[in-house]
Amino acid sequence: MTIATPSIPMLVRESIPLRTVEASSPTTNPADAEARHLAAAIGRGDESAFHRLYEQYHRRLLRFAFAVGRGDETAAQDAVQSAFIAAAKNLRRVESERHLWNWLAQVVRQHLGKLSRKSKMDATAGAPELSKHASVAEVDSMLEESLDAAMATLESTDQQIVEWFYFDRLSHKEIATKLDSTPKAISSRLERVRGKLKRAINHFLSHET
């Protein structure tokens, strides 16, 4: 399937090969039915299904990648790109919405783990754990809570700028218009906020892991 994703901000430099997802025991939950439909349609090469998947999961997956990557926005964007490219190439069947989310999150983890090894970062950065007995769901919940806690340390306007720029994908110019500012001023402010957010995420994860 040829993928047209002009709204994705960065090009994937390397994709992670994954086995085709197989599943059984379908459920009657509407969200699970939608996830199965999307996966099957993407497997048939339906580009509109791929774009629906992107719209439904991009924001959540990017937030997750931000936390796993401990505030490294470049690595997070790259990992999310890899997840969607991997989905287009390998996703065929899932049994539930949770199954679909876990599959996408796994690609993000793998990609960030590979980046952390290449850059000789802390080995736990790509795969933090609450304990050896923690479930994947518990770890994912901890990561998302850490990002929320880190965001809460920012000034309200800075929180809004981060949400607009990274998760709503607004440009510097669009944000400047909303805040009656200039694109250059927004760029400078974002640069400062990045550092604060990264330090806060690392602080909260270091106290959880």
Structure confidence by residue, pLDDT tens digits, 123-164: 444 444 333 334 556 666 777 788 888 889 999 999 999 899
Angle, CA 77 vertex, CA 198 and CA 55 arms, to 5°: 120
Mean pLDDT of all residues belonging to the chain = 79
Q: Is the model more confident about 25 or about 110? A: 110
Structure confidence by residue, pLDDT tens digits, 36-95: 999 999 999 999 999 999 999 998 899 888 888 888 888 889 999 999 999 999 998 999
> Any idea what the CATH number is for the domain that residue 194 is in?
1.10.10.10
pTM (global) more than 0.95: no
Q: Tell me if 191 is assigned to some domain.
A: yes
Domain interval for residue 102: 30-124
Q: Tell me if 6 is assigned to some domain.
A: no
pLDDT for 3 equals 52
DSSP 171: -
From 124, 158, 184, give the residue that closes a domain. 124
Instruction: Count how many domains the chain has.
Output: 2
155 and 116 co-located in one domain:
no
> Is the separation of the CB atoms in 83 and 126 below 8 Å?
no
The end-to-end CA distance of the chain, in Å, is 40
Provide the b/e sequence for 84-122 (b: ≥16 CB within 10 Å). bbbbbebbebbbbbbbbbebbbebbbbbbbebbeeeebe
120 φ/ψ sector (left φ>0, alpha ψ -120 to 50, else beta): left
107 and 142 co-located in one domain:
no
Q: Tell me if 18 is assigned to some domain.
A: no
Beta strands in the chain (DSSP E): none
Q: Tell me if 185 is assigned to some domain.
A: yes
Q: Is the model more confident about 167 or about 176? A: 176
